């Protein structure tokens, strides 16, 4: 029976039992750029500049300037690892998340003293300093500052009280100040902050760091799958079959995840915007999922921190922006959302979805589609249009048949090379809003683009026309159980 995972520590304990999934070190590491620089080689993967690879998660136990804390990185930087942590097969992750969204389990209040408040630091104490309390690293020497990359931001709408949890770009700006970047129109907490600002109020917010991986995955769902008012902590509850436990913050009127390693309590300040790199003046923010270092924003909101609470000997959890970890967190919920939408529109035809590493989990999707009758021809393109209509960040969709492994990009490209003709199987949809972090989505790149963030969405239909399926049967190998030969090899009988 798999170990019961309900927080970061139990997740790491499970990974320690799995061969090649966790690496620990006591060698001192500098959190500023060095820590991420090491992990770039060990296991980052994703769209990180080569050389990199997909490897084990890693724990640094000797972090310079933070003698009582450790830093974990790459916990979700492998689809196989995510599947183990969620007790699921890798190819079934999207479908499992889809089912969890449809059957949410609401969070509840914990009983007794929450472990996240074992140690309390209040901002009105003279020695309070976020730089010393939170071992937030920088990814590169050019970052605007130390970033909290896996903070579960939790807040309530000022009018309805409905909660939402999302991950935002958080940069330490001072002893009791954080900047938070809201992508315009993309996250619910941004809408909550805007409404609070209209009312002339501060928005109470908690930032829980180091939590159950199910929470981190669930928090990455977006509209229309989880509309405003849907608390994504309910997805984690459904994944675990029991509710996420919350606790009341000590200094602000908000809730936090009770078994988190760290909780930062604060308030989003209205009518204040700050420059992200005001302390470093590098011009950059941090590396983002497309593989480029994003520009520093001059429109970040300000969080005034009231307290930091944490466990005894806390574990800071972080990630590299362009790594395979982002692919897991952003891509798998997108797979679930696309699968659920298409399944409702045309049941039984879409076999699976993969939002691959090359697209950072957001820009590209592979849809595995089965045509069973002649009237299914063309529906594969309808499925792609459904995905585009709902998820503005998607730029490219590859359509493949059911005999193609949608999780193997070599097999997808094989289908493109043998079942695709560019003049008839490329469908372009120009002038559509996409993602502002793609540097090619800009008028400077193409005169056809009217504004930054607009792109040409493209469908690559690599499926065989239904009336020609008999011509495209893959080579048929003998079906057998190879265990007898594999066993011999393992025993050294075959060299």
The catalytic residue positions are 288
CA angle 314, 253, 272 (to 5 degrees): 90
Q: Is the dihedral of CA 426, 429, 435, 438 positive or negative?
A: positive
Axis crossing angle, helix 93-102 with helix 332-345, rounded to the nearest 10? 70
Specify whether the CB–CB gap between 221 and 235 falls below 8 A. Answer: yes
Q: How far apart are the first and last CA of the chain?
A: 35
CA nearest to 71, candidates 21, 25, 10: 25
Distance CA 242, CA 106 (A): 9
Other beta carbons within 10 angstroms of residue 6's beta carbon come to 18
CA torsion through residues 427, 432, 438, 441, sign: positive
- DSSP-assigned letter for residue 98: H
Q: What span, in angstroms and rounded, lies between the C-alpha atoms of 360 and 82?
A: 16
Q: How far is CA 207 from CA 117, 155, 449, in A?
A: 13, 9, 37
- Would you put residue 281 in left (φ > 0), alpha (ψ -120 to 50) or beta? left
In angstroms, the CA 337 to CA 339 distance is 5
**Is the bond leading into 224 cis (omega within 30 degrees of zero)?**
yes
Please tell me the distance from the alpha carbon of residue 146 to that of residue 318, in angstroms, as a whole number.
11
Q: Where are the beta strands (DSSP E) in 16-135?
A: 22-25, 57-60, 70-73, 108-109, 119-122
């Amino acid at each position: 029976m798999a170990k019961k995972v309900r927080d970061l520590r139990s997740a790491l304990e499970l990974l320690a039992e799995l061969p090649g999934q966790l690496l620990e070190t006591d060698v001192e590491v500098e959190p500023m750029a060095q820590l991420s620089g090491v992990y770039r080689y060990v296991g980052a993967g994703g769209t990180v500049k080569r050389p990199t690879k997909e490897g084990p998660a890693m724990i640094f136990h000797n972090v310079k300037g933070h003698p009582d804390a450790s830093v974990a990185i790459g916990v979700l930087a492998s689809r196989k690892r995510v599947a183990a942590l969620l007790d699921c097969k890798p190819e079934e992750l999207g479908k499992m998340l889809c089912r969890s969204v449809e059957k949410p389990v609401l969070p509840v209040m914990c009983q007794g003293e929450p472990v996240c408040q074992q140690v309390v630091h209040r901002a009105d104490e003279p020695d309070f300093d976020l730089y010393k309390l939170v071992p937030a690293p920088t990814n590169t020497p050019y970052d605007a500052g130390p970033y909290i990359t896996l903070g579960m931001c939790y807040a309530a709408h000022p009018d309805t009280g409905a909660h939402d949890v999302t991950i935002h770009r958080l940069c330490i700006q001072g002893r009791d100040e954080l900047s938070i970047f809201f992508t315009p129109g993309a996250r619910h907490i941004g809408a909550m902050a805007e409404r609070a600002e209209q009312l002339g109020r501060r928005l109470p917010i908690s930032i829980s760091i180091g939590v159950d991986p199910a929470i981190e995955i669930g928090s990455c769902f977006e509209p229309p799958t989880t509309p405003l008012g849907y608390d994504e902590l309910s997805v984690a509850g459904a994944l675990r079959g029991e509710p996420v436990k919350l606790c009341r913050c000590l200094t602000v009127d908000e809730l936090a995840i009770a078994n988190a390693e760290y909780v930062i309590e604060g308030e989003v300040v209205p009518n204040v915007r700050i420059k992200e790199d005001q302390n470093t003046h590098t011009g950059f923010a941090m590396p983002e999922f497309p593989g480029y270092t994003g520009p520093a924003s001059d429109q970040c909101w300000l969080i005034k921190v009231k307290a930091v609470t944490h466990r005894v000997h806390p574990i800071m959890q972080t990630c590299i922006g362009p790594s395979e970890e982002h692919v897991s967190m952003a891509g798998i919920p997108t797979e679930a959302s696309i699968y659920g939408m298409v399944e409702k529109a045309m049941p039984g035809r879409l076999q699976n979805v993969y939002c691959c590493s090359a697209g950072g989990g957001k820009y590209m999707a592979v849809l595995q589609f089965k045509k069973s009758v002649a009237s299914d021809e063309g529906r594969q393109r309808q499925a792609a249009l459904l995905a585009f209509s709902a998820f503005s960040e998607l730029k490219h969709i590859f359509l493949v048949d059911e005999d193609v492994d949608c999780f193997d990009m070599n097999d997808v490209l094989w289908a493109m090379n043998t079942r695709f003709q560019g003049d008839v199987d490329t469908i372009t949809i120009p002038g559509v809003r996409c993602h502002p972090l793609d540097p090619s989505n800009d008028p400077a790149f193409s005169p056809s683009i009217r504004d930054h963030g607009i792109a040409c969405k493209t469908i690559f239909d690599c499926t065989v026309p239904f009336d020609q399926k008999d011509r495209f049967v893959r080579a048929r190998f003998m079906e057998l159980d190879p265990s007898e030969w594999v066993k011999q090899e393992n025993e050294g009988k075959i060299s």
